[in-house]
Amino acid sequence: MAEKKRYTDEELEEFKAIINEKLALARRDYNQMMRTLMNADGNDVEDTSPTYKILEEGSATQTKEELTQFAARQQKFIQGLEAALIRIEKKTYGIDRVTGELIPKERLRVVPHATLSVASKNARKG
């Protein structure tokens, strides 16, 4: 029997459902981070004592930097998931971009935006 070159439409639908679920959660988390960064939830220190305010501002600066980095990673994750949906539509999803072979289903269920198999990814690191 010839080796499979792509996933079936049914398999692609399964991956699409996984991706859409992860995408909804990722967008929700990203939006929450952005609301926090923009102080839309109103947790401010304007009416607290000056000493506490100085300590709070230092902590808030570090937290905002960390949150900004996390938001950027989350945005990249969202873009990866959206690109995976495009590959599903083009029926090229799950194909290792280095070897052209199918990425194992187990990997795609865990990392649905993967474009490399574990072997290809490890080969690039070396």
The pLDDT tens digits of the residues spanning 5-48 come to 899 999 999 999 999 999 999 999 999 999 988 876 555 555 45
As a whole number of angstroms, the distance between CA 37 and CA 45 comes to 14
Closest CA to 88 of 3, 4, 17: 17
The residue range of the domain holding 54 is 9-92
Q: In the chain, how many domains are there?
A: 2
Q: Are residues 13 and 60 in the same domain?
A: yes
Q: Are residues 60 and 120 in the same domain?
A: no
Whether pTM > 0.75 for this model: the answer is yes
Residue 19 in domain: yes
Q: Are residues 24 and 69 in the same domain?
A: yes
Residue 118 in domain: yes
Q: Are residues 106 and 46 in the same domain?
A: no
Residue 4 in domain: no
Could you tell me the end-to-end alpha-carbon distance of the chain, in angstroms, rounded to an integer?
A: 33
Q: Are residues 116 and 74 in the same domain?
A: no
> What's residue 35's pLDDT?
92
The yes-or-no verdict on residue 112 having pLDDT over 50 is yes
pLDDT tens digits, residue range 49-97? 555 555 566 666 778 889 999 999 999 999 999 999 999 999 999 999 9
Residue 1 in domain: no
